[in-house]
Chains A and B, each alone.
Chain A
Amino acid sequence: MLLLFAAIFLMPEIEPLMRWLFPGVPRPLYARASFFELTLAHAELVAISSLAAAAIGIGLGIFVTRESGREFAAMAGSLAAMGQTFPPVAVLALTIPALGYGAAPALAALCLYAIFPVLEATVTGLHAVPGPVREAAIGMGFGRLDILWKIELPLAFPFILAGLRNAVIINIGTAAIGSAAGALSLGSPIIEGLSASNPAYVIEGALAVALLAMAADQCFALIEDRFRPVRQGD
């Protein structure tokens, strides 16, 4: 976490290092926007798309584990998997004409990308609720909504959290592509660096992305630890 903050705010300090590593590059420090702004924009992209993917993924996950939605389970799974095998760049190519340049197509691509891990995790988590527990809850007079809210979701939560963690980490990496659509993110230095043959830019961007991913992973680890004692045990 500390490393991340250091990288964001102290990036300009790297300039001498970059100058030494890449003597041929005229402007070794990405200066179109501060790294703080870039990180913020990047985090925004990830946060919004992950929340949307979470809502869709969890919602779908609940739906296909209900009696009414059971027949759609396989279909939902395939669609979500397809959403993930689609290269994000291809998604961008398809959404840019519709949504224009900027953050919107990036958000669409990231959201699509993140649905699969959340959906799978939700379905796995809900299926992991032991049969006798569900039977006892029904037999005691819990309504369907009560069972979902008080019994199934709390028990599935660790799984869903793991899926969310997955989705967010993947998205942090993928959000860099958003810059190809003109969105501001930590991918901006990377993409500009690649097209201008400026390895310094690329390294700076990639470093920040990696640190952001690690910081996010740490956050999730902390959250998971907090909820661990309540998890169903052996």
Chain B
Amino acid sequence: MIELRDVSKMFGGVPAVAGFSLQIETGAFFVLAGPSGCGKSTLLRLINAMIVPDKGEIEIHGQSIRAVAPEILRRGIGYVIQSPGLFPHWTAADNILAVPRLLHWSASKCSARLEELVALLHIDPALLRRYPRQLSGGQQQRIGVARALAGDPDIILMDEPFAALDPVSRLALQDEIRRIHARSGKTIVFVTHDMDEALRLATAMAIMKGGRLIQAGVPLEILKAPADDFVRDFLGGEAVPLRLLDLLPVRELTRRGWTRAAITIAADTSLKNALNLMLAHHCSSLRVTDEKGTGLGEIRLSDIVARRDAI
């Protein structure tokens, strides 16, 4: 677990982070969200000691990060940035293996790891021989993520990694990282100013403004009970009910029993998708099935609308 206690950092008299306390559970996909300049990138760099706090303590698994040499600390933490900062004079493969080589892994271990990552991230092997300038933005960032994962770190820090990508690449990589997180149980700390991205990915999140922590918790709770107007506006203001639907599975509002509805929907998909489907097919109820296709019951439009407050 990563713990920050009363952390403060000033840059030229301006507080970038002020009195910040937070606990990030091991295995969480923790999103730091907030408007530009709120200090979230600074916070990320405090965790891997690229920035030293003026005040406060930062501990990883109970040990202060100050107890370890910064380089050693960072080799155990993956780091992905927006640009993505691939080394231009190295091939994609050499870029990916940067940390393993710093850790003096054997050549066989390195090539085994490379193969694993290629499979894990669905990287086209032909790209490995290329130089970064010969890759598209999406491909570069995929290599960047592979590079961060190469040393098999427990923690991965990601600073708006997909912000510069086209929407298709962005969605693909979001899915990719979500999948990797679910499979590996690694702790991911992800910075973004995009609320949609935050809600898609987070298992826990914190909203920041002006260097301060405004609200932290599970996305569902933050959506249901925003701490103040700022949070509510940041979450989308009047779009919050629809956002909530995106986080709730159809299963929650399924009425057991037989249904006349012709169109089916999976129980594990979101209520928002259910709404979409109803709109698309001009019907007010759907048949709910599990992954195998067995009927579980019915979901009604009226329930979605009426019971929203009771959720």
Interface of A toward B, CB cutoff 8 Å: 130, 132-133, 135-143, 146, 151, 154-155, 230-234
A151 and B87 alpha carbons, distance in the complex (Å): 7
Q: Indicate if the CB atoms of A140 and B147 lie closer than 8 Å.
A: yes
In contact, B74 and A141 (Cβ under 8 angstroms): yes
| Docked complex Cα distance between A140 and B145 (Å) | 12
Q: Counting CB contacts under 8 A, is B89 at the interface?
A: yes
Q: Is the CB of B74 within 8 A of A138?
A: yes
Residue of A nearest to B44 (CB): A139
Asked whether B289 is an interface residue with its Cβ less than 8 Å from the other chain, the reply is no
Bound CA–CA A142/B75 (angstroms): 8
Bound complex: CA of A155 vs CA of B85, how far in Å? 13
A141 touches B71 (CB 8 A): yes
| Chain B residue at minimum C-beta to C-beta distance from A150 | B87
Question: A139 to chain B: which residues have CB within 8 Å?
Answer: 45, 48, 50, 74, 79, 81, 157
B308 / chain A contacts, CB cutoff of 8 Å: none
Which of B75, B79, B89, B133 contacts A136, CB < 8 Å? Answer: B79
Q: Is the CB of B48 within 8 A of A232?
A: no
Distance A143 CA – B71 CA, assembled complex (angstroms): 6
Contact with A along B70-94 (1 / 0, CB 8 A): 1111111101011111111100000
Interface residues of B toward A: which range?
20 to 34
B residues in contact with A154, CB < 8 Å: 89
B102 close to chain A: CB less than 8 A = yes
Interface secondary structure of A, over-half rule: helix
Known: A140-B147, A141-B102. A155 touches B89 (CB 8 A): yes
* A to B CB contacts below 8 Å, 22 in the list: A132-B82, A132-B84, A132-B85, A135-B81, A136-B79, A136-B83, A136-B84, A136-B144, A140-B74, A140-B98, A140-B147, A141-B71, A141-B72, A141-B73, A141-B76, A141-B77, A143-B71, A155-B89, A230-B89, A231-B89, A233-B131, A233-B133
Q: Are A132 and B131 in contact (CB under 8 A)?
A: no
Residues of A within 8 A of B271 (CB): none
A132 and B98 form a contact (CB under 8 A): no
Evaluate contact between B86 and A234: CB separation under 8 angstroms.
no
Q: Does B99 contact A (CB under 8 A)?
A: yes
Min CB gap A129→B, angstroms: 9
The smallest beta-carbon distance between A141 and chain B, in angstroms, is 3
Which chain B residue lies CB-closest to A229? B131
Complex Cα–Cα for A135 and B82 (A) = 11
A136–B86 contact, CB under 8 A? Answer: yes
Instruction: Say yes or no: A142 contacts B71, CB within 8 Å.
Output: yes
Q: How far is the CB of B73 from chain A (nearest CB, A)?
A: 7
Instruction: List residues of chain B with CB within 8 A of the CB of A132.
Output: 81-85
Contact of A233 among B81, B88, B98 (CB under 8 A): B88
Complex CA gap A118/B88 in Å reads 23
Q: Contact check: which of A130, A138, A230, A232 meets B50 at CB < 8 Å?
A: A138
The distance in angstroms between the C-alpha atoms of A72 and B251, with both chains bound, is 67
For the complex of A and B, the 3 pairs showing the least CB-CB separation, nearest first, are A136-B85, A141-B75, A132-B83
Q: For residue B85, which residue of chain A has the nearest CB?
A: A136
User: How close is B72's CB to chain A, nearest CB, in angstroms?
Assistant: 7
CA distance A138 to B48 in the complex (A): 10
The 0/1 profile, CB within 8 Å of A marked 1, for residues 271-299 of chain B is 00000000000000000000000000000
Among A132, A231, A234, residue most surrounded by chain B Cβ atoms (within 10 Å): A132
Report whether A232 and B102 are in contact in the complex, using a CB–CB cutoff of 8 Å.
Answer: no
Residue numbers in A under 8 Å from B84 (CB-CB): 132, 136
Give the distance in Å from the alpha carbon of A233 to the alpha carbon of B89 in the complex: 9
Give the docked Cα–Cα distance between A132 and B86 (Å): 8
How far, in whole Å, are A155 and B132 apart by their CA atoms in the complex? Answer: 14
Tell me the smallest distance from the CB of B52 to a CB of chain A, in Å.
Answer: 13
Q: Is the beta-carbon distance between A232 and B85 smaller than 8 angstroms?
A: no
Most buried by A among B85, B147, B148: B85
Query: In angstroms, how far is the closest chain A Cβ from the Cβ of B15?
Result: 22
Chain A nearest CB: distance from B149 CB in Å? 12
Q: How far is the CB of A113 from chain B (nearest CB, A)?
A: 31
Minimum distance in angstroms from A150 CB to a CB of chain B:
8
Q: Report the minimal beta-carbon distance from B69 to chain A, rounded to whole angstroms.
A: 9
Which residues in chain B, 6-39, are within 8 Å of chain A measured between CB atoms? none
**Chain A residues, Cβ within 8 Å of B144:** 136
Q: Is the CB of B81 within 8 A of A136?
A: yes
Nearest-Cβ distance from residue B170 to partner chain A, whole angstroms: 18
Cβ distance A43 to chain B, nearest Cβ, rounded Å: 32
Least CB distance from B117 to A in Å reads 15
Beta-carbon nearest neighbor of B157 in chain A: A139
Q: If the complex has contacts A139-B48, A140-B98, are A133 and B88 also in contact, measured as CB distance less than 8 A?
A: yes
Minimum CB–CB distance for A131 against chain B, Å: 8
Which A residues are in CB contact (< 8 Å) with B85?
A: 130, 132-133, 135-137
Shortest beta-carbon distance, B103 to chain A, in Å?
9
Contacts of B157 in A (CB 8 A): 139
Give CA–CA (A132, B81) in the complex, Å: 8
Q: Which residues of B contact A231 (CB under 8 A)?
A: 89
